[in-house]
Structure 1
Amino acid sequence: MKEKKQSGEKRYIVTYADPNTDVGTASKILNVSENNVANGVAVMETDAEFDSEILHFDGIGSTVITCSEQRAEELKQDSRVLAVEEDLEIFALGTLEDIQQEVDTLHEQDPYFQLAQEYYKQGFEQGKAESQRGLMEQLQKFLSGQNSGSGNTNGNGNAHSRTTTPTAFQTGVENPFHTPTLNPFLKTVPPPSILVQPTPWNISMVKAPAAWARGLRGAGIKVAVIDTGIAAHADLGVSGGASFVPGVASFNDDNGHGTHCAGIIAARNNFIGVLGVAPAASLYAVKVLKHNPLTGGASGMTSWVIAGMVWAMQRGIKVVSMSLGSASSPLLAYRNAITQLTNAGVSVVCASGNSFGSSFPWVNAPANSHPLAIAVGAININKAIAPFSSRGINGAGWNPVTLVAPGVSVKSTYPFPASGYKTLSGTSMACPHVAGAVALIKQKFPMFTPAQIKAKLIFSSSDLGVPGNDQTFGAGLLNCDKATL
């Protein structure tokens, strides 16, 4: 099955006109033995190296092959073939360390920067007050119950209530040689704990708490994070996953990007760390990007991403979050894959890209490749568009920005140190806010199709920028409250 890769050959994705093309038909079109065509998901899910394998993806009608440019051109002439596209490299869309420092500096100069800290402080104080109030009420009930129908004596034999203030405290005179005899229970009362977890500014901005108040937290909804994997973290629960990175069997996150995105979607409401938009959603880690130790970034190949998408579809996952992209025109391979996922009831949420200001300022692939893809741009705490956020289109069939969400200086879960937290920026951070919102919508409206869910997001968004839908903000800011009504 393994073929030696020849000099000058490249990796291509062959997309067939019939999405139901099976292995047998694909082998005939490619003019190879059926024995030389492997099940793409099954092979890539192992730790095998597969650079020269012919891999077919059942259910979406695509095959990955290694061949010469001439052979690729020949295949394009076959009427049964829709497209033959180079297997492009794709990147995680979070900012690198040096860019992040620059973004943070600009953010701190923003007059609205203090709002984030104020939101946290308000939540903390509110939680503290409610916790103390509840604790005192319980304490008073306990004391009243203990005092009912019985007397109690102090050190002098005088009966008094447990709530009677000792003499030393009534007079304000402190006797260093005498400690009033109090109920032993009072000596063991711990300081009041915070029972209400503070809500991060970004989660408040998209109005997720309003949906939570109506019992919507994403319970029962499976969300796949197609990224660098997800690390074990005290603030996260991972229900399963797979790796499609060659030679890597584990879906553990060795980069941090996927773990950060996962926290924005579904960090638990467990009184520590941060909160996700849909804290009760079920997370699945689909590793398609590998860590680059030289740059700190992460990248993979388009075929790896498509394999991850097929895996998610086959397992009944209803939301995929893809904070990744490449500065390329729409790809028919993505379009075909997204068509099959949405037909199966899977909503596809993608980062719009971080390439604005470059020679490719438009929405990146895969976000640009299908009209039902939900393309997410990034804004800051002041609701201004992030300077890096890709926007606009460059031709027909180019999916534009759908809406925006917080993507500048967003704090979330991170694996370094273990169960840590980190602040990052990028459309990568905006995308999972919307993925979490889709989980909330899906919980509220389980029969909604991906088309209905996208429409719900658009019509419930809070308009930003010029009135109406525009190329920068799309429909506007994500509004989880209205989207779930």
Structure 2
Amino acid sequence: MPPTSFAGAPAPRPPRRAVAEDSAYEPDEVLVEIAGTASQQIAARLVQTYGLTTLSQMRIAALGSSLYRFRIPRGQTVETVVSAIAREPGVDASQPNWRYKLNGSPAALQHSIADARPPSATSTPAAPAAVQTQAARLPQYARDLIGAPNANTLSRGADILVAIIDTGLDEAHPELSGAVAGHFNAFPSQPFEPDTHATAIASIIAARQELAGIAPDARILTVQAFTPASGSAEGGAGTSYRVISGVNWSLMKGARVINMSFAGPRMDDIVGKLITKYSSAGVVFVAAAGNGGPEAPPAYPAAHPDVIAVTAIDERKGLYDHANIGDYIDLAAPGVDVMAAANGGAYDFASGTSFAAAHVSGVIALMLARSPRMDRARALAGLAATADDLGPPGRDNRFGAGCINAHAALLGMAVETSGSPP
């Protein structure tokens, strides 16, 4: 039985309390997953019993369940309500609405365009200062560092769907012309708002004009699940509810790779459930390792066991100063002063593990185009076996298996002429 302090119909809602910006979750919200055909009746019972207010709800088709976002009564804590609801019959999961932040933002340009050598790995992510110039005249070291030019003679990632759970992106950017296969807005009451973070991620994967993406023939599914990163010292912000919404849509659209260039606290149950179920079905989840620095705790979803966690290195294969360190790090890829598309048809240098993850997502698209039945385990094994070892011999907590080598990874895998995901 629930505590008696929850009983009764909800009272009129007083003015909303101030939100603690440093909280790991939305301080007055809980998420409840309910499976089966009686979800509405169960939700109504929870509202009555616990004095909840329904803020929104959605169908998680990928899990065959429904998700409710409730506001809790004043005077109750998220932890108490989550624990009580988790014991209710018919409830599959009850959790906080965790907060996530993007892992990196375009770095303000601190040197002359004529200088082809970008700043050092000590650059700190900052608000974008987009470079209004021809991209072909700007340095693009990352492709050479990972062997992408030679890899593209073997694969261009034709028609592989790569979902980007991120901010809105500039679909009108010349680099992304014809690259976007679909878009979804996890903020249904707000319009799409193009932002440089997602635009940069998409261009690293599939640019096809002046810049060269890692997988230029892949198709992008863009999901706006985060507030804009541009112009914000804190970067883009998202929540479990919006991430779940975006991942669910991407899976239903047939995404084979899902790029998650964001991080939050300890993994939430429902996002983890989606990852576990669909990783075993052949979807490859790639996440940024985190920009919290060497003393930061593991970042999720990168630290989830079914996700490929990617850290960032510079053009000299030095570790990005702000990168997380831990035994969950799988691979390293370029993520310091990487040339990428920016909002408004512009270009900019970008730094952060966000952009390193995008390089790995692009290479996995190349691999999937040659071997459609490849899954996460095979992808990671192939990339790790052919990576350029960095740091101490063998796998380590800073670089994982080392810097990816796209050409070597493709040469080392069997080619399938047809097939479907495992």
CA distance in structure 2 between the partners assigned to 1:442 and 1:392 by the alignment: 28
2:365 counterpart of 1:426: no
Whichever of the two has the greater Rg, that structure is 1
CA displacement 1:173-210 (0-9 Å, x = unmatched): xxxxxxxxxxxxxxxxxxxxxxx999821011111112
Going by fraction, where is helix more abundant, 1 or 2? 1
2:195 counterpart of 1:258: no
| Residue 347 of structure 1: how far off its partner (Å) | 0.9
Q: For 1:69-468, list aligned pairs within 5 A.
A: 69=78, 70-78=80-88, 81=91, 83-95=93-105, 108=119, 200-214=140-154, 216-231=155-170, 232-236=172-176, 237-250=179-192, 252-253=193-194, 255-268=195-208, 270=209, 272=210, 274-291=211-228, 293-295=231-233, 297-326=235-264, 328-357=265-294, 361-369=296-304, 371-392=305-326, 400-415=328-343, 418-468=344-394
| Residue 357 of structure 1: how far off its partner (Å) | 4.2
Letter paired with 2:397: Q
Name the stretch that deviates more: 314-323 or 62-71.
62-71
State the TM-score, normalizing by the size of structure 1: 0.67
CA contact (8 A) 1:289 1:300 kept: yes
SS at match of 1:53: strand
SS at match of 2:67: strand
State the TM-score, normalizing by the size of structure 2: 0.76
CA displacement 1:430-468 (0-9 Å, x = unmatched): 010000001000001111123322222222222111111
Mark the runs of 5 or more structure 1 residues left unpaired by the alignment: 35-49, 111-195, 394-399
| Residue 11 of structure 1: how far off its partner (Å) | 2.0
- What is the root-mean-square deviation of aligned Cα atoms in Å? 3.1
Letter paired with 2:225: V
| Residue 325 of structure 1: how far off its partner (Å) | 1.2
Q: How many residues align?
A: 358
SS at match of 2:347: strand
Letter paired with 1:247: S
SS at match of 1:88: strand
CA distance in structure 1 between the partners assigned to 2:12 and 2:335 by the alignment: 44
SS at match of 1:467: coil
| Residue 303 of structure 1: how far off its partner (Å) | 1.1
CA distance in structure 2 between the partners assigned to 1:72 and 1:33 by the alignment: 11
Mark the runs of 5 or more structure 2 residues left unpaired by the alignment: 1-10, 18-26, 48-52, 73-77, 122-135, 412-422
Going by fraction, where is strand more abundant, 1 or 2? 2
CA distance in structure 2 between the partners assigned to 1:355 and 1:109 by the alignment: 18
CA contact (8 A) 1:229 1:285 kept: yes
State the percentage of identical aligned residues: 29
Q: 1:197 to 1:459 in 2, by over 3 A?
A: farther
CA contact (8 A) 2:107 2:337 kept: no
